[in-house]
A = this chain, B = another copy of it.
Amino acid sequence: MTVMQKQTRRKFLSITALVGTGLSLFSSAIAEQTARKQLVHHVFFWLKNPNSKEDLSKLIQGLKTLKKIESVRRIHIGVPASTELRDVVEAGYSASELLFFDDLQGQKKYQDHPIHLKFVQDCSHLWSKVIVYDSMDV
């Protein structure tokens, strides 16, 4: 084998190893996403002025600050979707926050975090009602 052949062979082997590691990391990320049990924290807000776009915007801006809290693993901020209004569907709320935590401690850290406390201080005058659902994956 020439020097060049050996070099090319080494490159080939390194890249094969890199592909293997990459695929392995990718598949563990997928497996983790589907297998790890998480704590789901879903909060629904009813605005005092449900027709005020300005108040809704303020609330959503406030909710967006929550993603900076370290223990928040994933966040979705939403408004009622225009799905069919069956009698079991609650669509009267103004906005929602859906957060994922690794465990009870993660949720507690979030509750006590200065960013969360500032959000409540800045925005709680906007809402008339809040409902919280905390679920642990089975």
A residues near B (Cβ < 8 Å) are 2, 4-5, 8-9, 11-12, 15-16, 18-19, 22-23, 26, 33, 38-42, 44, 60, 74, 76-84, 86, 88-91, 93, 95-96, 98, 104, 107-108, 111, 130-138
The 9 A-B pairs with the shortest beta carbon distances in the complex, nearest first, are A78-B135, A81-B136, A81-B134, A83-B134, A89-B132, A8-B8, A96-B135, A15-B15, A88-B130
B5, B41, B137, B138: the one contacting A5 at CB < 8 Å is B5
- Which B residues are CB-close (under 8 A) to A77? 137-138
- Does A104 lie within 8 Å of B132, measured CB to CB? no
- Which B residues are CB-close (under 8 A) to A138? 60, 77-79, 95
Q: Is the interface of A mostly helix, strand, loop or mixed?
A: mixed
Q: Report A95 CB to chain B, min CB distance, Å.
A: 8
- Which B residues are CB-close (under 8 A) to A93? 133
Q: Report A92 CB to chain B, min CB distance, Å.
A: 10
**Once bound together, how far apart are the Cα atoms of A87 and B89, in whole Å?**
22
Given contacts A8-B5, A12-B15, contact A81 B107 (CB under 8 A): yes
Q: Report A22 CB to chain B, min CB distance, Å.
A: 6
**Once bound together, how far apart are the Cα atoms of A16 and B79, in whole Å?**
44
Given contacts A22-B22, A81-B104, A82-B104, contact A89 B42 (CB under 8 A): no
